[in-house]
Amino acid sequence: MSKAVLDPQQAAKLRRRKIIISVIVASIGVHFLGAILAGVWIVARYLLPTPATFEVKKEIRIAAEERQHRMNMDQFDALKPKPTFQDKMSTARPTEFSLPDLPAMPLDALASVDPSDIVSDQLDSLSAAAGEGSGSGAGGGKGSAVSFFGISDMATRVVIVIDVSDTMFDRQPGKFTAVKQEAAKLVQGLGINTLFNIVIYEGGSVAMFPEMQPATEANKQKAARWIESVNGGRDKAGMSYKGAYIKMGTGLYEGGGTRTDTALKQALSLQPSTIFLISDGEMSRNMETSREFGFESAKIEERELINLVKDLQKDAEQTARIHVIHFLTQQAKQEEEDVLRSLARRNEGRFKQVKAEDY
């Protein structure tokens, strides 16, 4: 049987049709294969472990030029020779009359400054100028070099503010001793030209002295005994603002709780140049609900605390630097850390976290 002979035009149409069909089938096959490969890649991307990446972020710090300038000037002033005084009078020629006797000075009416403190301070200044360094931190007329939990500064009027709420004692028993030791060490290193005070707080705040006092040996020893007497916690019911603390100094009470705001208000009223605040981060006030249910605790918000300090600083003759130590007695809470860090940053101070368990 012979095959039918196709017309050339029909044969050409059949060839074009076969070519188009082949192209379509090939295109579908390629897309289908691509879809399968894409699916495999996406699935593998989520199943395979993510490779570790390391990123170094550039940290921008603005140098505290003014503070550094002041510290450089303090060091320069310390190198100046101290003025000398001679307790005698001399004349070029004899006189025809005698001078009257000097009146007796009422020594009891003078400030309670031990002369040995003045001599010791001058010796410390001389040895510092000679490059020997006594290690006491005593400076010239510009104050003292101070350090608290590793935060250093120059201060002429320094106040230590210490949180003595129950959580500072109970969460890490025995670790509050480190706070006492650091506070006592700071006070012992002060020169006589520096004024100081100590404020403790929980439901209210108590200042050791009603006003700033010179760092004489007598006042340093009194401060060491005062710091050592602080010993709180839930099992020591008498160690509270309304118990033993109010009898230890000048108190300020604004309703109870853990009143960091009250403590800063009292500290800033002393017109310090430098404040060291140490706290575990909890801050609250007691709010009266009713006679039947008594009080409930309300958190002191960051904005409220920052605005309070801002207003107090605005009215002060000298703006105080506020350094903050976050004394971690448990896992750090971010909101508490943020408040303390903001308090230091907004008042030209430094912020540092220390773990109670490390002491």
Report yes or no on 92 lying in a domain: no
What does the radius of gyration of the chain's CA atoms come to, in whole angstroms? 37
Angle subtended at Cα 295 by Cα 289 and Cα 301, rounded to the nearest 5 degrees: 90
Burial of 337 by CB count in 10 Å (0-12 exposed, 13-18 middle, 19+ buried)?
A: middle
Model pLDDT, residue 283:
92
Report yes or no on 205 lying in a domain: yes
Model pLDDT, residue 64:
57
Specify whether the CB–CB gap between 285 and 165 falls below 8 A: no
Burial of 161 by CB count in 10 Å (0-12 exposed, 13-18 middle, 19+ buried)?
A: buried
Model pLDDT, residue 66:
66
**Residue the block writes with tokens 């120059």:** 154
Model pLDDT, residue 238:
66
What CATH number is associated with residue 253? 3.40.50.410
Specify whether the CB–CB gap between 248 and 206 falls below 8 A: yes
- Dist CA 114 CA 196 (whole Å): 17
Report yes or no on 55 lying in a domain: no
3-state secondary structure of 251: strand
Specify whether the CB–CB gap between 167 and 173 falls below 8 A: no
- Dist CA 300 CA 291 (whole Å): 23
Residue 199 vs residues 129, 160, 226, 227: alpha-carbon distances, Å: 33, 6, 11, 10
Question: SS3 letters for 253-295?
Answer: ECCCEECHHHHHHHHHHCCCCEEEEEECCCCEEEEEEECCCEE
Burial of 263 by CB count in 10 Å (0-12 exposed, 13-18 middle, 19+ buried)?
A: buried
Model pLDDT, residue 134:
35
Model pLDDT, residue 352:
95
Concatenated DSSP letters of 146-198: EEETTEEEEESEEEEEEE-SHHHHHSSTTTHHHHHHHHHHHHHT--TT-EEEE
Report yes or no on 244 lying in a domain: yes
- Dist CA 88 CA 355 (whole Å): 59
**Residue the block writes with tokens 């290193």:** 189
Number of domains in the chain: 1
3-state secondary structure of 202: coil
Domain containing 231 equals 137-358
**What is Dmax (Cα atoms) for the chain?**
170
**Under the phi-then-psi rule, with left for phi > 0, alpha for psi from -120 to 50, and beta for the rest, what region is 256?**
left
Report yes or no on 157 lying in a domain: yes
Q: What is the Cα 351 distance to its own chain's centre?
A: 4
Report yes or no on 64 lying in a domain: no
- Dist CA 182 CA 269 (whole Å): 24
Report yes or no on 347 lying in a domain: yes
- Dist CA 161 CA 267 (whole Å): 7
- Dist CA 205 CA 280 (whole Å): 16
Q: Per residue of the chain (359 residues), what is the pLDDT tens digit?
A: 445 566 778 878 888 888 888 889 888 988 888 889 888 888 877 777 777 777 777 776 655 566 677 777 777 777 766 666 555 666 666 666 666 666 665 554 444 444 544 554 555 445 444 443 333 343 445 678 999 999 999 999 999 999 999 899 989 899 999 999 999 999 999 999 999 999 999 889 999 999 999 999 999 999 999 999 998 877 676 667 777 788 888 999 887 889 999 999 999 999 999 999 999 999 998 875 545 555 678 899 999 999 999 999 998 888 999 999 999 999 889 999 999 999 999 999 999 999 999 98
Specify whether the CB–CB gap between 177 and 305 falls below 8 A: no
Q: Are strands 284-290 and 351-355 parallel, antiparallel or unpaired?
A: unpaired
- Dist CA 147 CA 141 (whole Å): 18
Report yes or no on 306 lying in a domain: yes
Model pLDDT, residue 288:
59
